[in-house]
Structure 1
Amino acid sequence: MEDRVILVDEHDAEIGTAGKLAAHVDGRLHRAISVFLFDAAGRLLLQQRAAGKYHSAGLWSNTCCSHPRPGEPRAAAARRRLREEMGIDCALEEQFGFVYRAVLPNRLIEHEYDYVYFGRFDGSPTPAPEEVARWSWMDLARLRAELKARPDAYTYWLGDCFEHVTRSFETGWVLR
């Protein structure tokens, strides 16, 4: 059975549900979550998306991304998918939300009201191989340079929200 996503308007008011793939084919605005885990040194845990993912396969991205299920709180979805994708369970804090739209090379459309969560993790993940090909810790300065030099190696949404992430991280988020 296909996962369903929560369709929203530009103010994040729920307007219905759709199959996940159908929402990406039609480009309908839907709710999403993105998780960024930092270690004690301030490095970000990145994942390389598995080759079998239906979009953005093989690209590097933030720690975890997904969609809340209908009726599922955003924070619960973020923790659930972090466990499922990366084998990590840790406290998360919502930082901000933003809307983005991107037409992907396979003609799917990412049009998401994305809520970004930060967390602290010092360890090694145990990712699900069907979700994650590899993982790596990277400091934000190096990632900024990489996003400029090789944007095609990273997911669109990572590049789109990176400056918001660095501002939140550098101006007030406290590693716990």
Structure 2
Amino acid sequence: MAKVTFHNDPVTLLGKEITVGDKAPNFTVLANDLSEVTLVDSKGKVRLISVVPSIDTGVCSTQTRKFNEEAAALGDDVQILTVSVDLPFAQGRWCAAEGIENVQTLSDHRDLSFGEAYGAVIQELRLLTRAVFVIDKDDNVTYVEYVPEVTDHPDYDQAIQAVKELTK
């Protein structure tokens, strides 16, 4: 499993670690209106999945805003999803307050389906670790970053470049 720390203390990640070349596992999460969303719902698009511990904290907010800004330039063949364990209502309020319109926020609070499928559940905190996954139109994982220190930013440039490589 990926070695991850939270405020420099090691944490345990639950689930199967995803690596480049894996078939992206399906999952069921909740949209802000409580409807179920799965990976299959975005089949045929390039997906960037941005994973954050809590949407309304500093680094998580920046991460979501950054990918929201990039989304418009990536085109209609790309879908950016932000997944956290925040309640769908809190995600909806945050998006409205921040003017987030190009990223779909999704909640894994109900059963940690996404977190367990992608090896992203922090056992000690029942939060998701910070990570980024890029999945091609055929559900192949082409980019993975489990951020080693949960409070650090992901490599935005590398993640966006991975998406651009798939949309050439």
| TM-score, with structure 2 as normaliser | 0.26
Q: Which has the larger radius of gyration?
A: 1
Kindly indicate which of the two structures has a greater share of residues assigned to strand.
1
| TM-score, with structure 1 as normaliser | 0.26
